[in-house]
Amino acid sequence: MSPDPMRTTNDKSRIAEFIDAASRLIAEKGYDRTSVRDIAQAINLTSGTMFYHFKTKDDLLEAVIKKGVDDGFQLMTEALRRAESGSLARFLALVTAHIGVVHGDLRHVHHVWLREWDRLPKEARVRLRPLAEQYRELLDNLLFALAQDGHIKADPATVRHLLLPALNWTTAWATLPDQHSRTLLAEQICAATLNQTVDTLRSLLRKETEVSRAAFLSGNSLTD
């Protein structure tokens, strides 16, 4: 369609290369200790080239964190879309997706988001904050549903304040290379959030699925 698709693709991938290299180096050494020279060198370019694609070094940092916010939110909403309808299943799906994001291909980007957010210029924080808040709402709605279904007795907002930092900090103490180990940790954390054993959580999940399918088959799922 585009008259010059390759040009566009190359431009995009150069910028993406910078974002990728920057996220790795900044995650490892910190923003202030990572020079523009370091980042450019990592993709066999020189510092001058970075200033052609980004106006300032801060703009590159903002691009890295924006990628984390955008991609992360997209992955989590997709996971919820694929999940069953019960509140427990949806909760486990969201927690699993969250762990998948911070331990997966986006882990460096997410690490930078978490660690260097305060180093962003105030204007950049103002731009990105609303996007970041979307996810908080997603989680809040889910925790509220869990409370209504009787799985959470504590204040949902406090539970969120327990859960969110814990999920983000799993990278500090756990290395989870494969999907299986991530699913396992997600179950452990969901269980701990409800103060139940993993076995109990699984049996509650089975029960929930049966009930919601029965309700669906009898046509009551929308009238309840």
Partner DNA sequence: GTCTATAGTTTGATAGAC
Partner DNA sequence: GTCTATCAAACTATAGAC
We find the least distance from the C-beta atom of residue 22 to a copy of itself, in angstroms, to be 16
Q: Which residues inside 49-88 make contact with DNA, applying CB under 7 A? A: 49, 51-53, 55-58
Residues near 105 by Cβ (< 8 Å), separated by ≥ 6? none
List, in sequence order, every beta strand (DSSP E) within the chain: none
We find the least distance from the C-beta atom of residue 41 to DNA, in angstroms, to be 9
Rank residues 55 and 153 by Cβ distance to DNA and give the closer one: 55
Both tokens of residue 118?
């305060």
Which of 22, 25, 27, 40 forms a contact with DNA (CB under 7 A)?
Answer: 40
Rank residues 45 and 62 by Cβ distance to a copy of itself and give the closer one: 62
Both tokens of residue 39?
């980042």
Residue 11 identity: D
We find the least distance from the C-beta atom of residue 55 to a copy of itself, in angstroms, to be 20
Q: Which of 91, 115, 89 is nearest to 102 (CA)?
A: 115
**Residue 48 binds to a copy of itself (criterion: CB under 8 A):** no
Determine the Cα–Cα distance for residues 70 and 87; give it in Å rounded to an integer: 24
**Residue 169 binds to a copy of itself (criterion: CB under 8 A):** yes
Q: Give the DSSP H or E segment for 206.
A: helix 198-217
Helix (H, G, I), strand (E, B) or coil at 196: coil
| Binding partner selected for residue 213 from DNA, a copy of itself, none, CB under the kind-specific 5 to 8 Å limit | none
**Residue 118 binds to a copy of itself (criterion: CB under 8 A):** yes
Determine the Cα–Cα distance for residues 24 and 6; give it in Å rounded to an integer: 26
Determine the Cα–Cα distance for residues 139 and 152; give it in Å rounded to an integer: 14
The residues binding DNA (CB under 7 A) are 7, 10-11, 14, 34-38, 40, 44-49, 51-53, 55-58
The residues binding a copy of itself (CB under 8 A) are 30, 32-33, 118-119, 152-155, 158-159, 161-163, 165-166, 168-170, 173, 188-189, 191-198, 200
